[in-house]
Structure 1
Amino acid sequence: MGFQTPQYTLDDYLARTVSGAIQLPDFQRGYKWDDERIRQLLVTILRGHPMGVVMLLDTNNDEVRFKPRPVEGVRLDADISPTHLLLDGQQRLTSLTQALTNDGVVETKDSRGKLMSLRYFVNISKALDGEGSMDEAVISVGEDGRIWTNFKRDVELDLSTPDLQREQGYFPLNLLFQPVESQGWILKYAMIDQKLAGRFHAEVLTPAARYSIPAIELDRNTSKSAVATVFEKVNTGGLELNVFELLTATFAGDADYYAEHGTDFRLNDDWRETRAVFESQPVLQEVSSTDFLRAVTLLATRRKHLTDTRTRPTAVSARNEDALRISLSEYLQWRDPLREAFLWAAGFLADRHIFDTRFLPYGTHLIPLAVIKVIVGADADLRGPRSRIVQWFWCGILGELYGGTTDTRFVRDVMLVPDWARAVDGARVPTTVQDAQFVESRLHSLRTRNAAAYKGIYALLLENQARDWMEDKRLDLVQHRELAVDIHHIFPKKWCADHNIDDEHRESIVNKTAISAKTNRSIGARAPSHYLDLIERNAQITTDQVDEVLDSHCINHSLLRNDSFDGFFSDRREKLLGLVESAMQKPAQRDVSQGYFVEGSSQFEEAEVAESADESVDDSIPGAVPDATLVSVNEH
């Protein structure tokens, strides 16, 4: 990658934007500057102050083939290939192109966001009062050249014709870089005030014609990943540009696809089709376009890794910069298998009693789950491979290993889980299964659904044949929605407060379970011994039937009926640990019951615990690569 730093006159930039020599890459967002920012930019030009640099990319580049589009407001008669793409400075050059060329009408908005079509003028006498008066001199008027008042009943200022403009001393700024028209306007104005006309030409128009803007030009050797890095480094607006938007422009410029289909490939339209496929699955509603591309990248780089015969083969990766190297043909190769795999993942989660995004422990977990399904294929539904995938899944959740940086863990799991799941000879146990640990005292600090393990234990309770307390219904997908099931206290908050139960124990998941809205209303703030009698009467069931339901929630009914909170808490904590150990297929660390943890000493936390496992690269796993940062773009 190389670059130059030339300086071009504003007149040159305008000529190139109008002709199409300078265009925008298709991923750039739309024009959005408001009236005041445009006016202040014009003031800056007329004062001769610097307005910053613009960044251009040489389009004579075999690797970077972004689909171009003209600067907004420019109408090209033919499909013109640009010589440069505008990477930074879009808002400024778009504003100047619209305001200073053709009819000077700018499609913008006011401070309240109302859409407006405006033209810009400079008051000649005020512009000559000195630099400090230029701000007051530049004004905007409606497209019709008038400023209206009294709800558009009265005209405050009428600049709708050249004669009216000269009569009131306002120069139309769209003539600033049109020398013939500008000269004709000034000559006629000199008939009104020759002295002001001469001064305005010499002190304002002539300096403006020489106004220049420095550029940074990235040469033809610049890669897509370098473009992404440049965007990140020049970002000052804090507006993120993701990989999907960059690839939208790249795929749209794919010459082979155009030659075969006679049209450009539109990644946005394709993603809308994918979203339509996912629409029936609530748990997939937060899968983003970038998530989908990360899954494609894992599969594409894995295929390259397996077929690469070099000593250091291509690395398997989910990084942004590697996603930018994905070709359109690779994307299309994996798109349909991944669509089916994500749908399979939704069914897999439903089997785990995870029905929607609200109770989904980690959204990122869907990415490797879908990729693993594509790799394992139909074997993913066989009992053996399925049980091992289930173990890996619960280890990631209950070990809370997908809460931090995930790219490296994606690679590890994609490389190791498929062969291990199919019991291939010599297959290694995945690091996620090895790393996962659950400590008994963690149950004390799991208090909100912000934590993945909290949602995981809730799902395990539902999977444990839990039934509604008042209606004879399993808490499966249909009943979970119909009964408005949520996580509620077993010993009510008020009862706990009245009996001096501390926050740690009251709010712990040990004191919560899946309860329908109807049951929760019956519980209210009552003591368990009271509300259980009420549930029996209202539901018209026996004590034994209630006890059976409580057992399905891992609740000791005798301790609950005796309002014995301490005994209940210890007993249920042990039963929940049993669910955790069964899901992870490995023992939990007991630090409470064995006296290593002092109850009441843990800090009350609302936020999810950060990932504890080391996320550094495991060099022993072929193809592992470090994590990457997000890609950002300046929105000038």
Structure 2
Amino acid sequence: MQESIKAQDRTLGDWYNAILNGRIKLPRFQRYEAWDKGRICSLYDTILNNLPVGVALVLNVEASKEPFISRYISHAEPSSPEFATQHLLDGQQRLTAFWRAMHNSYEWNTYFAYIPEFDDNANTEVDFEYSCRVISRWQKKDNKQLYPLWANSPKECLKRALLPLSLLKPGDTNQTEIDDWLKAAIGDEKPNIQQYLAEVTPEEQLGAIKKFQQDNDEYEAKEKRLREVINLLKVRITHYNMPYLALPVTTPKDVALQVFINMNTNSKPLSLYDIIVAEVESIKGISLHDAQQELLAKHSDIEHYEDPGWLMLTTAALLQDKAPNQRGALDMCKAKMVEQWDQVETGLGRMASFLSEQGIFDYQRLPTNAVLAVLAACFAEAPENGDKLGYIKNVLTRYVWRAFFTSRYENSTASRAFADYKVIREVCFNGSDAEQALNDAPVFNEKLVDIEQLLVEGWPKKTGSLRRGILAVTTRLGALDFADSQKATYISLQQRHYHHIFPDALLKEAGLEDESYRALNCALISGRTNMQIGRKEPWEYLEERVGHVDRQTAEYRLKTHLIDPVRLAEATYQGLEGADLSAKVEKDYRAFMRSRAELVLSAATKLCNGQDISVEGLFASH
């Protein structure tokens, strides 16, 4: 019977040299660094105190004949690389943290070994003989120095009993670095006989010489002890055992990949994207990481809506007749995904452009992400121009707004999106009787929401297709900013707040606090937050946002948010208080909310039927 693979010993000194010379590399499908500073410190606590650490996993490879496309460990690209002899399948986070802390290559963190015997204020009760400490760094706007400044000073570091981990690299090549650090840390403490004799009389010279000898002995003892500790820790790190399992050179790529997946299911398991990245790499030798970066370089707005990696997978799954979920992404053919990559890329880019045309610019304002893969997959197969493209865009316009203003995607969104996609694709690309076939798509049969549902929908800053759909209708109309008339765009919306049209304080005073956070009482505008406006009347408050413009301009800006200026103008409360105030506010608020609900539903109905909308048209029929 063949014996199972046994762990082999390997010192950190040997790991260090293998990384230094490029003999150890990472398969490119490996995800990038994921450890935070706490885990890095914990690793060094383990190493400095010679405690055991987990086993690594490598795949032995033939020199100049690597089975996977590979990359060097972060910040460890050698100047004169040798041929790789091993691919690191598990242990990347440990060895990357080990290498980078040894070379002080973290931009905003510096790592030290804490030596309690050099700390005059040390607590006698310490967890470890030695431990790792991390100092977070920062820069001021006016200079490029790293703060705190003391962390740049060997003398100040030693006062805190801290030795840079970079002094403890395996081997003897950094002896000059150690000497320079010690000189900077304690060099000015070295006694000088001339100074001791300069200020004494001849009769006092003998005493001064004795004092010099005593101080010099203490200095040499301190320097000797510092060198001993540095050497002790260097030796400890150099000879620390980090064992590994090695898969033989003859291991098939698919077996190595499966072992990699199985070994990476511990404290930070692989994501679905990580697994598929690995599978694609093993099958086709192509990096999805690289493909994703190229995609975002061409269409950066894709990531405004969803994680690009997930969008890539769900779109590819739909193109292979699989559901846009984890199961579909796992079941799809990875080789075919690579073959269809140009379609995936095209579809995602056109999806983002289409949503922008619809006035939906980012995830924070997206009513439901269930539509994303459906849009991308449809656009992936659509012609570049012509009447056919116009028809497809009309169908998709009807689809997305029905997704927002029906209950279709409240539950089981992936399976429902898959069912709708299959019908929409049939209609758009296979010459089916359009309207008859669309009746088979559940989303086109769902009943649109009514006025009463709109009136009770909650605050749109929270997720929810209907509440965000209400806001999306206004951004579709441009949602001009009250202050500067700037149209809603991705950039402008990042500067806007979710404002109460009827101020929250006014509604609370009228006893309507439960009504304040309704979607219909919200407008996306810039300016101060509601905490600063008190209980002002709606028009008075909004006038402050509008600034010095004529009434007609101000009213048009309101209308782009489907706010009827007439309703706000009626909401005046001069001289009212108590029950009279409450009654008037409630009456005005109810009338305003119903008026806005009617406008929103009118706009949504048109969009759901594939019709265009305009401010003038909606208010003309209101």
> Which residue identity lines up with residue 32 of structure 2 in the other structure?
R
Number of the residue aligned with 1:501 = 512
For residues 338 and 477 of structure 1, do their structure 2 counterparts lie closer, same or farther at Cα, with a shift above 3 Å needed?
farther
In structure 2, the partner of 1:114 is 110
CA offsets per residue over residues 546-590 of structure 1, 9 Å max, x none?
Answer: 59965982638368515522333344334434444444459xxxx
Which amino acid in 1 is paired with 2:511?
N
Give me the CA root mean square deviation.
5.8
Contact 2:323 2:414 in 1 (8 A): no
1:444 CA drift (Å):
1.4
Match of 1:491 in 2: 502
Partners of 2:24 and 2:561 in 1: CA distance: 68
Q: Which has the higher helix share?
A: 2
Change in CA separation of 1:108 and 1:577 when aligned onto 2, cut-off 3 Å: same
**Counterpart in the other structure of 1:41:** 46
How far does the alpha carbon of each residue in 1:303-354 deviate from its partner, in whole angstroms, 9 at most, with x for none?
xxxxxxxxxxxx565538846976578436433x444433433342233222
- Asked if 2 retains the 8 angstrom alpha-carbon contact of 1:493 and 1:525, the reply is yes
User: What secondary structure does 1:114 align onto?
Assistant: strand
SS of the aligned residue for 1:145 comes to helix
Deviation at 1:508, TM superposition (A): 1.2
Tell me the equivalent position of 2:456: 444
Secondary structure of 1:354's counterpart equals coil
Three-state SS of the structure 2 residue aligned to 1:290 is: helix
Q: CA deviation at 1:417?
A: 2.0
AA at the equivalent of 1:445: E
Check whether the contact 1:361–1:453 (CA below 8 A) recurs between aligned residues.
yes
Which of 261, 275, 289 is 2:296 aligned to?
Answer: 275
Residue matched to 1:455: 468
Look up the equivalent residue of 1:354 and give its one-letter code.
Answer: I
Answer whether contact 2:49 2:128 (CA < 8 A) is retained.
no
2:32 is matched with 29
Instruction: Deviation per CA, 1:37-57: give whole Å up to 9, x if none.
Output: 465333554xxx542333345
Once the 2 structures are TM-superposed, how far is the Cα of residue 362 of structure 1 from its aligned partner?
3.9
Aligned partner of 1:349 among 348, 351, 355: 355
Matched residue, 2:600: 576
* Structure 2 residue 14 is the aligned partner of structure 1 residue 10: no
Normalising by the residue count of structure 2, what TM-score does the alignment of the two structures yield?
0.59
In 1, the alpha carbon distance for the partners of 2:540 and 2:242 equals 83
Distance 2:305 2:556 in 1: 39
Q: Is the 8 A contact 2:89 2:260 kept in 1?
A: no
Measure the CA separation in 1 of the matches of 2:226 and 2:543: 91
Q: Give the counterpart of 2:182 among 136, 144, 148.
A: 148
Aligned with 1:55: secondary structure? strand
SS, match of residue 456 in structure 2 = helix
**Structure ranking higher in strand proportion:** 1
One-letter amino acid of the counterpart of residue 178, structure 2: G
Give the C-alpha shift of residue 11 in structure 1.
5.5
1:557: which partner in 2?
A: 566
2:316, 2:344 within 8 Å by CA — same for their partners in 1?
Answer: no
**Structure 2 CA distance, aligned partners of 1:407 and 1:135?**
52
> Structure 2 CA distance, aligned partners of 1:399 and 1:239?
37
SS in 2 for 1:148: helix
Checking the alignment, whether the CA contact within 8 Å between 1:317 and 1:407 is kept in structure 2 is yes
Q: Aligned partners of 1:78 and 1:112: how far apart in 2?
A: 28
- Structure 2 counterpart of 1:566: 590
How far does the alpha carbon of each residue in 1:11-43 deviate from its partner, in whole angstroms, 9 at most, with x for none?
Answer: 699489838776432325359788854653335
User: Partners of 1:535 and 1:36 in 2: how far apart?
Assistant: 51
Distance across 2 between alignment mates of 1:355 and 1:294: 21
Aligned partners of 1:245 and 1:571: how far apart in 2?
Answer: 51
- Give the direction of change, closer, same or farther, for the CA distance of 1:16–1:407 in structure 2 (3 Å limit): farther
Larger relative contact order, structure 1 or 2 (CA cutoff 8 Å, min sep 6)? 1
| C-alpha separation in 2, matches of 1:214 and 1:393 | 52
Q: Number of aligned residue pairs: give it.
A: 494
Q: Any stretches of 5+ residues in structure 1 without a counterpart?
A: 100-104, 121-131, 159-163, 179-204, 256-264, 303-314, 587-636
The amino acid that maps onto 1:346 is: A
Take 1:333 and 1:327, find their aligned partners in 2: how far apart are those partners?
A: 10
Q: Is the 8 A contact 1:555 1:568 kept in 2?
A: yes
Find the residue that maps to 1:447 and give its secondary structure. coil
What TM-score do the two structures reach when normalised by structure 1?
Answer: 0.58
Alignment match, 1:55: 57
Determine which of 366, 372, 379 is the counterpart of 2:372: 366
Structure 2 CA distance for partners of 1:274 and 1:20, relative to 1, 3 Å: closer
Determine the structure 1 residue equivalent to 2:83: 80
CA contact (8 A) 2:404 2:466 kept: yes
CA distance in 2, matches of 1:501, 1:250: 57
1:90 maps onto 2:92 in alignment: yes
1:541 to 1:95, Cα distance in 2 relative to 1, 3 A: closer
For residues 343 and 6 of structure 1, the distance between their equivalents in structure 2, rounded to whole angstroms, comes to 49
Q: Structure 1's 268 and 153: CA in aligned 2 closer, same or farther, altered over 3 A?
A: farther
SS in 1 for 2:88: strand
447-456 or 401-410: bigger deviation? 401-410
Alpha-carbon distance in structure 1 between the residues aligned to 2:93 and 2:107: 16
The answer to whether the aligner puts 1:243 opposite 2:245 as a matched pair is: no
Is contact 2:405–2:604 with CA below 8 Å preserved after alignment?
yes
Contact map agreement 2:23 2:82 (CA 8 A) in 1: no
Q: 1:82 to 1:324 in 2, by over 3 A?
A: farther
| Partner secondary structure for residue 54 of structure 2 | coil
Q: Which runs of 5+ in 2 are unaligned?
A: 116-126, 132-161, 168-173, 191-216, 219-223, 573-587, 611-622
Is the Cα contact below 8 Å between 1:375 and 1:418 reproduced in 2?
Answer: no
Q: Distance in 2 between matches of 1:537 and 1:12?
A: 67
Which secondary structure does the structure 1 equivalent of 2:320 belong to? Answer: helix
Name the CA distance, whole Å, in 1 between partners of 2:61 and 2:324: 28
TM-aligned CA distance change 1:433 to 1:215, over 3 Å = farther
Relative distance call for 1:81 and 1:434 in structure 2 (3 A) is farther
Aligned to 1:297: 316
Could you tell me how far apart the structure 2 residues matched to 1:322 and 1:3 are?
Answer: 36
Deviation at 1:393, TM superposition (A): 0.6
Q: Which residue of 420, 423, 430 corresponds with 1:416?
A: 423
Q: Distance in 1 between matches of 2:478 and 2:393?
A: 20
Task: Report how far residue 446 of structure 1 moved.
Answer: 1.9
C-alpha distance in structure 1 between counterparts of 2:6 and 2:568, whole Å: 81
Asked whether the 8 Å contact 2:8–2:243 carries over to 1, the reply is: yes
Q: 1:324 to 1:74 in 2, by over 3 A?
A: farther
- Report what 1:331 is aligned to: 338
Question: Residues 593-622 of structure 1, C-alpha deviation per residue, up to 9 Å, x if partnerless?
Answer: xxxxxxxxxxxxxxxxxxxxxxxxxxxxxx
Query: Which SS does the other structure have where 2:277 is aligned?
Result: helix
Name the aligned partner's letter for residue 67 of structure 1: I
Offset at residue 113 of structure 1 (A):
1.5
- Cα distance, 1:168–1:541 mapped onto 2, change above 3 Å: closer
Report the CA distance between 1:373 and its aligned residue: 0.9
Name the SS of the counterpart of 2:502 in structure 1.
coil
Matches within 5 A, 1:147-166: 148=182, 151=185, 153-154=187-188
Distance 2:102 2:561 in 1: 67
Paired residues of 2:480 and 2:488 also in contact (CA < 8 A): no
Q: Distance in 1 between matches of 2:312 and 2:453?
A: 38
